[in-house]
């Protein structure tokens, strides 16, 4: 899928119980946030149930959803490489917050990333 070259981006965040799940492969849902990076606003939010977690499945699925960026607490190096193959930027070490807060902090350059909490 060809990414659009404009101010609209789609950011995926793994969530459980309304907040970012620290390990993206074990989340209940993904929040897909369509944003206008110039106006720094959220255009649309969709929650989708991911397919069963297996190596390579989530990056392909998120690419099919038009994802440009994923914000996660932790992610293994192999998974990060899969996402790069689909031209999806990966940001790890994000705090467990609501998808809206994470996306707004990202667009305002105030998203503080810590350590990757995944050890594989």
Asked if the structure places residue 52 within a domain, the reply is yes
Question: Judging by DSSP bridges, how do beta strands 8-16 and 29-36 pair with one another?
Answer: antiparallel
The span from the CA of 14 to the CA of 16, in Å, is 7
Asked if the structure places residue 103 within a domain, the reply is yes
Domain extent for 24: 8-107
Note the pLDDT tens digit of each residue in 50-92: 998 788 899 999 999 999 999 999 888 888 999 999 999 999 9
Asked if the structure places residue 117 within a domain, the reply is no
Note the pLDDT tens digit of each residue in 6-59: 889 999 999 998 999 887 777 889 999 999 999 999 999 999 999 987 888 999
Asked if the structure places residue 61 within a domain, the reply is yes
Q: Domain with 16 in it: what CATH number?
A: 3.30.420.130
Is residue 1's pLDDT more than 50?
no
Asked if the structure places residue 119 within a domain, the reply is no
Asked if the structure places residue 58 within a domain, the reply is yes
Asked if the structure places residue 102 within a domain, the reply is yes
Question: Judging by DSSP bridges, how do beta strands 29-36 and 41-48 pair with one another?
Answer: antiparallel
pLDDT band for 119, please (50, 70, 90 cuts). low
Asked if the structure places residue 120 within a domain, the reply is no
Average pLDDT of span 90-110: 95
| Number of domains forming the structure of the chain | 1
End-to-end CA gap in the chain = 29
The contacts of residue 87 (CB under 8 Å, 6+ apart) are 3, 63
């Amino acid at each position: 899928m060809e990414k659009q070259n404009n101010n609209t981006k789609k950011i995926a965040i793994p969530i459980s119980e309304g907040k970012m799940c620290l390990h993206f492969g074990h989340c209940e849902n993904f929040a897909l946030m369509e944003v206008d990076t110039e106006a720094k606003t959220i255009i649309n939010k969709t929650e989708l149930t991911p397919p069963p977690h297996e190596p390579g499945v989530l990056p392909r699925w998120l690419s099919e959803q038009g994802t440009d960026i994923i914000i996660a607490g932790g992610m293994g190096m192999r998974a990060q490489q899969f996402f790069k193959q689909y031209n999806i930027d990966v940001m790890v070490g994000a705090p467990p917050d609501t998808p809206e807060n994470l996306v707004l902090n990202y667009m305002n350059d105030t998203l503080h990333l810590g350590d990757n909490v995944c050890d594989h």
